[in-house]
Amino acid sequence: MLSGGPAMTYVPEIADRPVNKIAFTGYQVEGTPGRELLDTGSAEIDGRRMPVAAQVESYDFSAHADRDGLLDFLDAYRNAEILVNHGDRCGDFAAELRQKGYDATAPELGETWRRRFRDSWTC
């Protein structure tokens, strides 16, 4: 999503040449530099506003299940607590699951969640 890691080093090195290509291999969440680059052709990368002349393309190589795949998977967990903590609309997905009868929660960043019978985690 161009918000950290090795991309902060190599994207600026290849961004100014149209013969280069930046290929995203998964979904770029709204509000991230990766999504901004796809939508506008420029992004704030490593604290600098950077127009990108390189070709920018997106491919769906995600290893994540889609919404229907997640719902199929969760069908076996109807009587379990479900913590939704990965994605760009966790609260909305947890609310949808609750409407379908699941015990689903989507904690906010930094919130501590205590499992009923075991440990606690901070998100």
**What gap in Å lies between CA 75 and CA 62, rounded to an integer?**
22
Nearest to 83 by CA among 71, 69, 93: 93
What pLDDT, on a 0 to 100 scale, did the predictor assign at position 52?
94
What pLDDT, on a 0 to 100 scale, did the predictor assign at position 29?
87
What pLDDT, on a 0 to 100 scale, did the predictor assign at position 35?
94
- Asked if 50 and 16 touch (Cβ cutoff 8 Å), the reply is no
What pLDDT, on a 0 to 100 scale, did the predictor assign at position 18?
94
**What gap in Å lies between CA 25 and CA 5, rounded to an integer?**
15
pLDDT in tens, 96-115: 999 999 999 998 877 776 66
What pLDDT, on a 0 to 100 scale, did the predictor assign at position 66?
80
Of 76 and 66, which is predicted with more confidence? 76
What pLDDT, on a 0 to 100 scale, did the predictor assign at position 9?
87
Over residues 77-99, mean pLDDT: 90
pTM for this entry: 0.55
pLDDT in tens, 17-59: 999 999 998 888 889 999 999 999 998 887 889 899 999 999 8
What pLDDT, on a 0 to 100 scale, did the predictor assign at position 115?
63
pLDDT in tens, 56-75: 999 877 667 788 888 999 99
Q: Output the 3-class SS for 88-120.
A: CCHHHHHHHHHHCCCEEECCCCCCEEECCCCCE
Kindly state the tokens that stand for 102. 């699941």
